Amino acid sequence: MFALSRMSIMQSAKTVAIAMMVICASSLANVQTASANSKYAGIVIDAKTGKTLYNYRGDNIRFPASLTKMMTVYMMFDAMRAGKLKKSDRIRISSHAASMIPSKLGIRAGGSLTAEQAIYALITKSANDVAAAVAEHLGGTESQFGVMMTRKARSLGMSKTVFKNASGLPNSKQVTTARDMAKLGLALQEHFPREFKYFNTREFRFGKARYRNHNRLLGRVRGVDGIKTGYTRASGFNLVSSVNTGGRSIVAVVLGGRTGASRNAQMQKLIAEYLPKASRRGSGGLIAKTQSAPTVIAAMRASDLPIPAEAPVRIGETTAPITAYAAAAPRPKMPVDPIITSSAPQRSGWVIQIASLPSNAEALEYLATAKSKASSVVGSRTPFVEVFEKNGVTYHRARFAGFEGKADARAACQAIKRYNYACLAQQL
């Protein structure tokens, strides 16, 4: 009798131990998957309460790859809401845009597509040529659009994200985190609930071609209604997913997957485990619509402007240019002229403006690049930055002075636009 009782106890203990091992294995599965891949980072956020349900290296710096296009699309939605862009507006493909490496639609330079077609192309095909064209349409140049994207990221609370281009093509300075990408996913849903349906598009037709969405979880995993995939060699396979079902809502991020299939499998694991833990209560509204704080500036001289140089970066088997700073690069001959700040005397006469940027340093960099690229147009002109405020936000106008009159300034504007710069001639 005692032996049977002892055997029963031992079997019960064994059963409990096995059960505990199963529970531990289940709870540690995601961590084991993560630790096996140094690029991996993941996070799951309850979209109704903001609670972090899962976090593995969610605040570590990673490369966004084509998740960048989430912000490009956000900027388009923002411009539409502000009345600066319509779905029917034509977006021209420049030679710069046409030169982008795949994935792309392959529209030739001089061609165009509508803004709505551009949205579909960015979300489904992840078209790099379209991303660059949108950047030029909204920002004048892709580099300026990168500044605009970064500023918007700060206003959304994406404190560790920096954008340098609109596509996500490799740039060592273009970085993000899983948490920041989750915030962007939340912002797209909260700020543009009607437009968010574009991210649920399974297929997009352009001309005779048909493009299937790269996000293979759409239609396969219950509740998944977006958002975006991404991949470069440096980033690994990335995915942001929005899930809304059963009164629960989450945004989940997987960065650095070894393959598309393993990334998708990890995302499915996260959804299955953490969606049931999300709350059915909560009002959302987690991402505020605020402006980033103005940058404090100091007076600088035109001779202090950084000089950009083109350095190659290898993308797979393709070499593409990427902007970098060359410390030993010779500086162009520029007049030693103080940059105008809010405390300096204002100019008079005709000037041209090529950008309005959030900081003095960004405006200076933009002027230097324009001076170098379009030297035949503005090589003899005087660069300066004018500071002004609107609705409590500080802006920095990147301008050139030294024009003989209205006709001279307007002619310069027409000429510099050929270098993909926006331009406005104005009399002070």
Judge contact between 213 and 203, C-beta under 8 A. yes
Residue 235 CA: distances (Å) to CA of 169, 170, 239, 254, 329: 10, 9, 11, 11, 31
User: Which tokens hold the place of 263?
Assistant: 């990334």
| Rounded-to-integer distance, Cα 391 and Cα 134, Å | 26
| Rounded-to-integer distance, Cα 223 and Cα 244, Å | 5
| Rounded-to-integer distance, Cα 269 and Cα 252, Å | 11
Judge contact between 330 and 369, C-beta under 8 A. no
Catalytic site residue from 66, 94, 103, 235: 66
| Rounded-to-integer distance, Cα 150 and Cα 39, Å | 23
Whether 66 is catalytic is yes
Residues forming a β-bridge with 90: 114
Residue 62 CA: distances (Å) to CA of 71, 181, 248: 16, 10, 28
Peptide bond into 103 cis (omega under 30): yes
Whether 126 is catalytic is yes
Whether 172 is catalytic is no
Catalytic site residue from 103, 126, 143, 235: 126
In the chain, the N- to C-terminal Cα span, in Å, equals: 105
| Rounded-to-integer distance, Cα 210 and Cα 82, Å | 31
Catalytic site residue from 69, 104, 183, 228: 69
Q: How many CB atoms lie within 10 A of CB 368?
A: 22
Write the secondary structure of 362-384 as one string of H (helix), E (strand) and C (coil). Answer: HHHHHHHHHHHHCHHHHCCCEEE
Scanning the structure block, which residue is given the tokens 């700040």?
341
Residue 24 CA: distances (Å) to CA of 3, 18, 19: 31, 10, 9
Judge contact between 83 and 218, C-beta under 8 A. no
Active site residue ranges: 66, 69, 126
